[in-house]
Structure 1
Amino acid sequence: MKSTATQAFRRARAPIQLAILTLLAGIGAAHAQDVAQAQAAPALSKSIGSADSNVIPEVVVTATKRSTPLQKTPIAITAINAAALQDNHVQTIQDVVNLVPGFQATGQGDHGVITMTLRGIGNDSAKTEYADPEVASFVDGIYSPRPEGATSLLFDLEAIEVLRGPQGTLWGRNSTVGAVNMQTTKPVIGERSGSVEAGMGDYKRLGTRGAVNIPLGETAALRIAAVHEQHDGYIDYQKLPSISLADQRAAFKAGGGKDADFRPINPNLFVAGGPKYGAQDQTAVRLSLLWNIARDVKWNVSYEKFADRGTPSMNLLQNPRAGTDLWSTLADVAPTLKRDTDAIRSRLEYTINDSLALHYIAGVSRFSGSSTFDQDGGAAVPTSFATGATYQANNTVSSNYKNHSHELELQSLGKQDIDWQLGLYYAAEKNDIRFDIPIFSGTQEGTVNWQGSFIQPKETVASSAAFGQATWNATEKLHLTGGLRYTKDKRTNEGGNGYTWNGDKNVAQVPLSPSIDPRIPGQGYSPGSPSNDGVYHGSKVTGLVRVNYELDRSNMVYASVATGYKSGGLQDGGRPYGAETLTNYEIGSKSTLMGGMVKVNNAAYYSDFKDFQFSAPVTNPDGTRGLATNNAEGATVWGLESEIAAKLTRDDKLQLTLAYTRAKLGKLIGGTNDYTLPVCTVPGISTCLDVSGNAMPHAPKFSMQLQYQHTFELAGGATVVPRISTHYETASWLSVFNLGEGDRQKAYTRTDLGLRYTNNKWWVDAFVRNVADKNIKTSAGNSFGPYMAQYLPPRTIGFNTGVDF
């Protein structure tokens, strides 16, 4: 059956040796590029230069909220242009990670979202309204507060900028260790153009996307872009093994059951067909308008609609049962995922005079979603309808987010002794959610183990800030920068509570479903005590001090001290948790070598965390469940990063990224329901483990990404470009608990291949991703006995073809 979303859319030589020599030459050197002085920031990044020359095109970025050349921007930043995004088949943030040093993104199944880790710091629980990410995501400079915003289908992008290190001064709260800014392609006045493409692949993959630029007179233009991507799920369904009635009856009686209550296992409770876990079915459309209202006034505004009818990924047995495959599951909950997002983004620019500009950036978005998920993942085969296994579903009955943000920027223009900018910011969110967890012994027709519903009818977040940053251009080579930001936050929970099964014998033991309202007396549920009502107030000053020095026209070095901040908040029972802060010390270099053929960017950093927030689902001593957030005494992270781009010849291009990371947690007693842990002696936690000094998760000590491509010129101007991209990283833990091989992803190498044929304005691009079909874990747990994990996709193959007009 076609989904609603689908129907809606149907309308050279020795490159390794040279790279090594370049790396050795670039260590300790720094970048700078001789380009024109940057002007006030437009809302896009672009490349300057000819793609068929021997010089690597200069990239213009907006990391400092001005338009500046990448090689003159004293920040650790990776800018990925539209061509690189297409070559690497980037659809979500998870596809970006291998292109950025020290960047990880993990799928979280029950909510169908992606959480991000940068420089060894992230939060796997930043998938609900209770936990915020450490890596902030922006679209056209507008903050996307919930993780669903980071997983929307990426399309028609000019560039993605990944800023590494705290960005608390210009980019605000929750950019503790970095920020990701996705720049959409803007309309062009006076140009009528467009593109369309389509593709196919294994797992019944179908994809199509297109864009058209329409001039509206001499002062305006409209751009319409749309995309649809779908493929079947990667995970097959297992059949329920045949168990004799005699064995079922014996197991039931051994578990304390009575003959009169016995019933056979109903095989219809197990999923045999329909959509598989790990499927994609996503559609999006964006309308963008550029209007030069007057000579000095320009307005960019866009509306974007996103719809997701795919399915979540799945927890799989790391060691499959005999006769089963890794990519299969014994499922008793059919997967569903429904996510709809509407967003309006606006940027109004007023050039007051040659030396002063005023910008107003605003955004409004609305998200609604629901999902069903098989949390137990078929970890065990039931021995009877009420024994031998655990049935657990994690169901988001409804989840709704509304937010709006406003930013006013006043900044200097042109070449000044002091470049400065001032800003005011305000953002507000209003959220509600109902999340159900039924847990039964054996099957869903067994007996209640535990079940409950978390209902939060209203949660609000309000954040306001004032900021300023100035750079004193002391000389043509020496530049000193300072900045401060004051942020004030308020969070409220109103009317929220957890409702737990109370064992009322007059109520039938059936799994909690949307047709049951646990708030109504007599349904078999009791509210927790106390409720989640509460108010949190917090404020913080963050800042930046930086010096950068241009050694010559091609080399620059910089050093900075910057602070980041993530606000505190409220958790179950209305209990507050504290804010986390980060101080980052960094030195770096940016170098343009060999007349522009090679560029090398290096950074070394040390980060000192205070009150690092650790969030996890827990069971309380009274048997209730919830999501708890605790502040560790701290965490320390240090590392080295290097990015190398080389145009070996006019036809040979090589890119290499390297990262070395050491991330160590401070003092923390951690609890979670995702792992089997010892009984806890700390009051308020049922099971826990002292994880003080453990390595942080998703933080391999060393990682490397190597990309190489060669252009073959054919007759008539056609080209063929083969490319290879290889990623290697050492072993990494999947949680702060560091519990052994089941909780660890071993060292691995993953390779992608591509081949692109271009003839004038049409092209065909074939690809193989994960060539060796490696099984790469992104999360793990053993709360149901055996170790389970979620994985990156298996090997996939396909092609796209398109035409520009």
Structure 2
Amino acid sequence: MAAVLAAGGADVAWAQEAAEEVRPAELSGEIIVTATRRNEALRDVPMSVNVATGEQLEKLNILDVSGVQQLAPGLELTNNSGRNNTTTLRGVSFDPDSNTSPAVRVYYNEAPADAQTVYTAIYDIQQIEVLRGPQGLLRGLSAPAGSITITTRRPSFDKAEGYVQGTVTLRDGYNLQGGVSVPLSEKFAIRVAGLIDGNRINQVRNVNRGDQYSKGRTESFRATLGMQPTDTLTAYLTYQYLHARNRQYQQVVGTGNHPSYLVGCYFAPSYCGGSRFVPDTSESSGPPLAASDYRAVSEGEFVNDNKSHLVNLNVDWDMGPATLAFIGAYQYSVLNTHRDNDDGNAVPNYIADSYVKSPYKVWTGELRLTSNNDEGLGWGLGAFYTKQTGTTVVRQPGDSFFFPVSVASSPDVIGDLPYLPIHTIVTVPIDRTTWSFNANLRYKSGPLKIEGGIRYSIIKSIHTTQLGLALGPNVLANYPSQVIVPPYEIISPDLQKLVDKPITGGLNITYEISPTLNVYAAYGHSFRAGTTGVITQAGLSSDILQAKGEKTDSYEVGFKGSLADRRIDFSVAAFYQKLNGFINRFNSIYWESALDPSGSGFLSANYNGDAKIKGVEAEVNGRITKDWDVGINASYAHARYSGARLPCNDFDGSGIPNQNGTPTVQGDGNVSYCISNSRLAEMPDFNLSANTELRFPMGNIVPFVRGIVSYRPGFYSDRADFKYPSRTLLNLYAGIRSEDAGWEFNVFVKNVLNQKRITNTALGNFVQATSADVAYDSGYRLVNTMNPREAGLTASYKF
């Protein structure tokens, strides 16, 4: 609203300058998007779309994809664990460990791609588009919350061009990237680009590892060959290599604790004054820590190593009445993870080392035939195929703690360990195939445009898990030094094979009220296939092991237009969405085995729950004067479960999520359940962002200042039992550039206000369950916090 009022007051100034300046290309009316799989002006697309151009990314020093969320309110891109990139949009989130399709799909040069790989290296980008709402028709894979398309820069057939950009920060961050395009002939051109990036990731240091910082380094290279053998045939072949190695420690807050006990007291209570359990105050999980301390306490490392190869082919053949397009892609990635699972150091002197190797191969192919006419009746046909294979191997401890005693050895017990050492080896083959076929029609006559169609998909997946065990020495006398349990299948045959054949699609109507105002109404239907939990425990009920398929229906109305000789653009959309059986991931849920009374621990499981979303989104972009640009975006999305029965931790029997007291299961199931009307994601309903640039031309140089701010109010989370504080992230930039923007130098400060607010937290303290009635309580919550203030400088040169 503020931007609209400001725009109204600037009408006179705009009118005076209209003859002197052409409408800027970066304003939305000139931006061309591919949201509908055809090149269209943003104002003509019947859906809510946010666009970040490559120039914007460079201006705002957005060096990783998480920065894009400042340009698209309601979008949240996080990597809380260091291993999984999570995308949240319109209040709908997704955990990559859920082994189902994401709530927000990611496309790399129009082919679906893994977010973990694509998000890691953002450089030489042409455009990023955030498509809001269900995607079930025009793209090969359905998604309930939206899609993000990332397009890299293509080679120029006309001239040699390129850029180089370097950034350094006062917190040991550095980023060097660049790209160059060379025409080889009239028919061939090549573009090569590269990136070297290093930073401290979440700025967390580990108190139990010499205050060692989190640290990440990424190296990537990309080459694109452009071919245009005829005037009607164009093809681009892209190869990208990526190697990212991150050591990211999990931050904690809390008082710490003395969670272990003297070993000898259990067998000889007289040594401890007649008491079995006497706290050993010499062993501590760590010191008292606040969010502003940015500290971790795990005794082991958490390292992720990702090596990926991406190949992408785009071919367009203009046959006159119609265009035949082919999109093909191949991805081969190997992600190796080494982690101490005792993030809170709940058991001092104990490292729960786990190793995960996740190789996977993904083949994708899509063929589309689309009529070229804009007026009258148009049509499109398409076929899509993708297949993912790979075998994940997990090696981690599944130790069974008998009672709360110290891990340190003692002459007062028989043996060295107070727990049954169990080493698990889990093998998870991945086999997932999707075929889909779509048909759509569109009709345009004057100001009226109607588009609609359906997609029929065949989704097949096989879910199996082979679990093997190695049992080590026990505290009991004469226990065998090691017992091997050969791998056995823990997923029952009736849960292994899943086949879904959904029909998805949509319909939208657009009407041009005037050359500067469009209104639209849209309906969308999407589907996500169900999934079986593959890395889990034996003896669990089927509802915990398998989530059913999810269906989504969405309704949206909106209008897009411009004012003041198109110097200001605006869009407003209102939407309502119903999710039947929304698939969500529930982590760190306490369970007890139905097969073994002593079997217990914490698990992660997918589960279905009905939900509803309603909201409003608005965007205003304008040029107040020829040297002052302003943009304001706002989003409100009320995304809640609707009386859903969901897995939870309910230690005190209150019926609401909590970890007050000893871990226990309420009822007679494997886990506790709570009736929930809570949020679908850990984010507020309202989000606001604004950006501006003010220029001061001085002959051949142009000094400037820029700023971007995002605001998120505080909110209470039932799921985490935590009141999240409000957040205001302000980044400021000042510098000079040449008149033609050929070179630029700027200094910047990110998080100017130096807010250190918690952005994500676990429910209660991190604990280690035991077979006794007392758990190891670390005294810490696992959290993520806004990165502290960081200053740096950037220099760039274009040619």
Q: Is 2:331 the counterpart of 1:359?
A: no
Deviating more after overlay: 71-80 vs 443-452? 443-452
Distance 1:219 1:683, change over 3 A: farther
| Shift, 1:182, TM fit | 0.3
**Aligned equivalent of 2:130:** 162
| Shift, 1:238, TM fit | 5.3
- Distance in 1 between the 2:158 and 2:25 partners? 28
Q: Is 2:78 the counterpart of 1:106?
A: yes
**Aligned equivalent of 2:728:** 749
Matches within 5 A, 1:539-618: 539-572=501-534, 575-617=545-587, 618=589
2:418/2:475 contact within 8 Å kept: no
Per-residue deviation, residues 182-223 of structure 1 (Å, max 9, x unmatched): 011011102111111222112211221111101111111000
Structure 2 residue runs without a partner (length 5+): 11-20, 257-286, 410-416, 594-598, 650-656, 768-776
Per-residue deviation, residues 777-800 of structure 1 (Å, max 9, x unmatched): 332113334322112322211111
Q: Is 2:465 the counterpart of 1:469?
A: no
Aligned residue identity for 1:75: M
Q: Is 2:390 the counterpart of 1:414?
A: no
**Aligned equivalent of 2:101:** 132
Please state whether the residue corresponding to 2:57 is helix, strand or coil: helix
1:312/1:373 contact within 8 Å kept: no
Per-residue deviation, residues 713-752 of structure 1 (Å, max 9, x unmatched): 023x111120111111112456xx43432xx422221111
Aligned residue identity for 2:210: A
Q: Is 2:624 the counterpart of 1:648?
A: yes
Say which of 638, 648, 665 aligns to 2:641.
665
- Distance in 2 between the 1:224 and 1:789 partners? 40
Say which of 341, 359, 381 aligns to 1:400.
359
Per-residue deviation, residues 701-720 of structure 1 (Å, max 9, x unmatched): 211101111011023x1111
Deviating more after overlay: 594-603 vs 100-109? 100-109
Say which of 448, 456, 474 aligns to 2:427.
456
Per-residue deviation, residues 22-75 of structure 1 (Å, max 9, x unmatched): 5999xxxxxxxxxxxxxxxxxxxxxxx967689766100000000000011111
Aligned residue identity for 1:629: N
**Aligned equivalent of 2:168:** 200
TM-score by length of structure 2 reads 0.82
- Distance in 1 between the 2:642 and 2:396 partners? 32
- Distance in 1 between the 2:249 and 2:715 partners? 21
Distance 1:656 1:740, change over 3 A: same
**Aligned equivalent of 1:704:** 688
**Aligned equivalent of 1:426:** 385
Deviating more after overlay: 196-205 vs 546-555? 196-205
Structure 1 residue runs without a partner (length 5+): 1-15, 26-48, 240-269, 510-519
Aligned residue identity for 2:607: N
**Aligned equivalent of 2:608:** 631
2:470/2:483 contact within 8 Å kept: no
- Distance in 1 between the 2:138 and 2:157 partners? 30
Aligned residue identity for 1:160: I
Distance 1:358 1:237, change over 3 A: closer
**Aligned equivalent of 1:482:** 452
Aligned residue identity for 1:90: I
Aligned residue identity for 1:132: S
Say which of 766, 771, 780 aligns to 2:761.
780
**Aligned equivalent of 1:118:** 89
Distance 1:437 1:548, change over 3 A: same
Residue identity over aligned pairs, in percent, reads: 19
Distance 1:405 1:54, change over 3 A: closer
Say which of 179, 195, 213 aligns to 1:227.
195
Please state whether the residue corresponding to 1:108 is helix, strand or coil: coil
**Aligned equivalent of 1:332:** 299
**Aligned equivalent of 1:30:** none
| Shift, 1:456, TM fit | 2.7
Distance 1:342 1:498, change over 3 A: same
Say which of 97, 112, 132 aligns to 1:143.
112
- Distance in 1 between the 2:157 and 2:714 partners? 50
Please state whether the residue corresponding to 1:341 is helix, strand or coil: strand
Distance 1:238 1:232, change over 3 A: closer
Deviating more after overlay: 401-410 vs 225-234? 225-234
Deviating more after overlay: 613-622 vs 199-208? 613-622
Aligned residue identity for 1:420: W
Please state whether the residue corresponding to 1:611 is helix, strand or coil: strand
Residues paired across the two proteins, number:
706
Per-residue deviation, residues 335-380 of structure 1 (Å, max 9, x unmatched): 3221011000001111112x21101100000110112234433455
1:101/1:657 contact within 8 Å kept: yes
| Shift, 1:504, TM fit | 5.6
- Distance in 1 between the 2:746 and 2:408 partners? 47
1:119/1:699 contact within 8 Å kept: no
| Shift, 1:498, TM fit | 3.5
- Distance in 1 between the 2:205 and 2:117 partners? 30
- Distance in 2 between the 1:186 and 1:585 partners? 36
**Aligned equivalent of 1:514:** none
2:552/2:579 contact within 8 Å kept: yes
**Aligned equivalent of 2:39:** 67
**Aligned equivalent of 1:347:** 314
Please state whether the residue corresponding to 1:121 is helix, strand or coil: coil
Distance 1:579 1:507, change over 3 A: farther
**Aligned equivalent of 2:665:** 680
**Aligned equivalent of 1:718:** 701
Say which of 218, 243, 247 aligns to 1:311.
247
Distance 1:754 1:366, change over 3 A: same
Per-residue deviation, residues 388-411 of structure 1 (Å, max 9, x unmatched): xx7544x34311111011000000
2:708/2:731 contact within 8 Å kept: yes
Distance 1:232 1:98, change over 3 A: closer
- Distance in 2 between the 1:50 and 1:309 partners? 46
| Shift, 1:521, TM fit | 8.3
Per-residue deviation, residues 485-525 of structure 1 (Å, max 9, x unmatched): 1111000134x23345656649999xxxxxxxxxx983478
| Shift, 1:695, TM fit | 2.4
- Distance in 2 between the 1:80 and 1:315 partners? 31
1:50/1:57 contact within 8 Å kept: no
- Distance in 1 between the 2:37 and 2:25 partners? 30
Matches within 5 A, 1:244-263: none
Q: Is 2:790 the counterpart of 1:796?
A: yes
Aligned residue identity for 1:101: P
Per-residue deviation, residues 737-781 of structure 1 (Å, max 9, x unmatched): 43432xx42222111111131125221122111111212333211
TM-score by length of structure 1 reads 0.82
2:34/2:40 contact within 8 Å kept: yes
Please state whether the residue corresponding to 2:446 is helix, strand or coil: coil
